[in-house]
Structure 1
Amino acid sequence: MNSNVKAAMSAVALAAFVLPGLAAQPTKLEFSGETVGAEPKSLVPVVGVWRVESDAGKKVLAVDGRQWKEGQSSAGIADKARALYGERYAEFLDRVQAYAYFPYAVVPAVENFTAGEITVRFEGLSGRIDQGAGILFNLKPNGDYLTVRANCLENNLVLWKFEKGKRSSIKWVRNTPTATKQWHELKIRINGAKLEGYLDGKLYLEDTLAQPVSGRIGLWSKADSYMHFTDYTVTIAE
């Protein structure tokens, strides 16, 4: 198994979250102990180029679309898929290729997120096609998933569905100011099938999904986006 995958499976201890009926304390992914220039250990890159970088002396996670090539999966993807989904990894790999236009990375320590909050701060650095930053959730063993994403070029917030190799939008919200080269906060709040999406503390997006959320979580981007991420925080509700 890829050494980064082994490290990822143990890097973030998100167990022992809960007492019955109580929400967990927030848990934040930390990059301070990671190596600048290397793939992150607290997430598993599936599509695209993901690495730890330094920003004003602080270690952050970058997705570097400047190196993006259509159809490019991350290095060691077979081992990573096997670590995430065991015997179903081949099915997962097939769907990864169908979605290879959209870089994403998975939090390995959270096997099944069904309710709670996920928050991340992001900054758009460059990208002529896109400067997209998304929270990925509801990731299934067959590779289907949902994402709520902001875009520094389009100033909108969109809930996307990736299913059976195709992407479709569930809900668009326009006029959501998201200036490039500035830090912003993206948050989703989930309770069963109920979804809320926040940008910089303001509720913009609400939707009732076709089914309750259940699956893995992570980060998402698109095409030539070069983005920084930090303060990825998960709060699991019981």
Structure 2
Amino acid sequence: MKTENRFFPVLIAILFFSPSAFAQDADGAGATAITEDFSTETVGAPPQSFAPAVGNWLIGIDQGNKVLVVDGSKWRRGQTSAGLADKARALYGERYAEFLGNVKAYAYFPFAVFRRVDNFSNGTISMRFKSIAGRIDQGAGILFDLKPNGDYYALRANPLENNLVLWRFRHGKRSSVSWVRNVVTASRQWHDIALKVRGRHIEGYVNGKKYLEYELPAAVSGKTGIWTKADSVVFFDDYRVEH
């Protein structure tokens, strides 16, 4: 569906830092690369490297390798992730009520926020994904430009539809910005997805091939994360932000 979808008010906690497995290195002059491979996370527990906002997120195993799993088989419309209110209160203190009053998210679309990067405006975000199951959807996307009011963009691939779509989430509504067909990402196989950002200019890649190019109305500036939809069961690995 390319137009508005159902949404529900939920609470999200954005960026509360806790130790995790990050590999950080210089990536060219003035650039930094941060990679999360989940190798020091605890299997069966929620991730420490991401803040789950909507949906059920935990650390799993795929062929002996630790991965981040969104378990859409337990998804229920309108359900936020556990403990978000307490985390928001701990993060914002006296501004807790103000925060909750101004933030909206979308319970039809599970997502988790990357804790280490406070603000991403230029560079590359990439990750690997492996869609396992989902009757409604098997979407795997990069969330970016997440604002304090809950607005954001998501670049996502979908094995059920074989396409790549740039979605915009704004003021409680979802709309498609750019739509590319014939982008094949078979289920139960690992694929790469990457987003390159230079101010307002963005490019979308799947398995190393550029499929999408677009000029946004305003420059990117916000938090990043991982996005999916409804009952999707997807594995994620090697989440990397170069900026």
Structure 1 length-normalised TM: 0.89
Stretches of 4+ moved more than 6 A in 1?
13-19
**Distance (whole Å) between structure 2 residues aligned to residue 157 and residue 23 of structure 1:** 31
**Distance (whole Å) between structure 2 residues aligned to residue 172 and residue 81 of structure 1:** 35
Structure 2 partner of 1:10 = 18
Q: Which residue of 49, 60, 63 corresponds with 1:56? A: 63
Q: Which residue of 126, 129, 145 corresponds with 2:133? A: 126
Cα 1:27–1:122 shift into 2, 3 Å = same
User: Do the aligned residues in 2 keep the contact of 1:81 with 1:92 (CA within 8 Å)?
Assistant: no
| Structure 2 counterpart of 1:68, one-letter code | W
**Distance (whole Å) between structure 1 residues aligned to residue 189 and residue 88 of structure 2:** 34
- List per-residue Cα deviations over 1:87-146 (Å, max 9, x = no partner): 3531454x12xx110000001221110000000000000001100000000000001100
Structure 1 partner of 2:204 = 197
Structure 2 partner of 1:39 = 46
1:29 pairs with 2:36: yes
Q: Which residue of 222, 226, 231 corresponds with 2:233? A: 226
Structure 1 counterpart SS, 2:17: helix
**Distance (whole Å) between structure 2 residues aligned to residue 142 and residue 65 of structure 1:** 25
User: Do the aligned residues in 2 keep the contact of 1:9 with 1:109 (CA within 8 Å)?
Assistant: yes
**Distance (whole Å) between structure 2 residues aligned to residue 150 and residue 111 of structure 1:** 25
Q: Give unmatched runs, 5+ long, in structure 2.
A: 1-12
Cα 1:173–1:81 shift into 2, 3 Å = farther
Percent of counterpart pairs with the same letter?
Answer: 54
In terms of fraction of residues, the more helix-rich structure is 1
Structure 1 partner of 2:99 = 89
Aligned length: 227
**Distance (whole Å) between structure 1 residues aligned to residue 236 and residue 23 of structure 2:** 23
- List per-residue Cα deviations over 1:121-180 (Å, max 9, x = no partner): 000000011000000000000011000000010000000000000100101000001101
Deviation of the 1:24 alpha carbon: 2.1
Q: Give unmatched runs, 5+ long, in structure 1.
A: none
Structure 2 counterpart SS, 1:26: strand
Structure 2 length-normalised TM: 0.87
Q: Which residue of 223, 227, 236 corresponds with 1:216? A: 223
User: Do the aligned residues in 2 keep the contact of 1:26 with 1:233 (CA within 8 Å)?
Assistant: yes
**Distance (whole Å) between structure 1 residues aligned to residue 131 and residue 181 of structure 2:** 18
Structure 2 counterpart SS, 1:117: strand
Deviation of the 1:84 alpha carbon: 6.1
Deviation of the 1:16 alpha carbon: 8.7
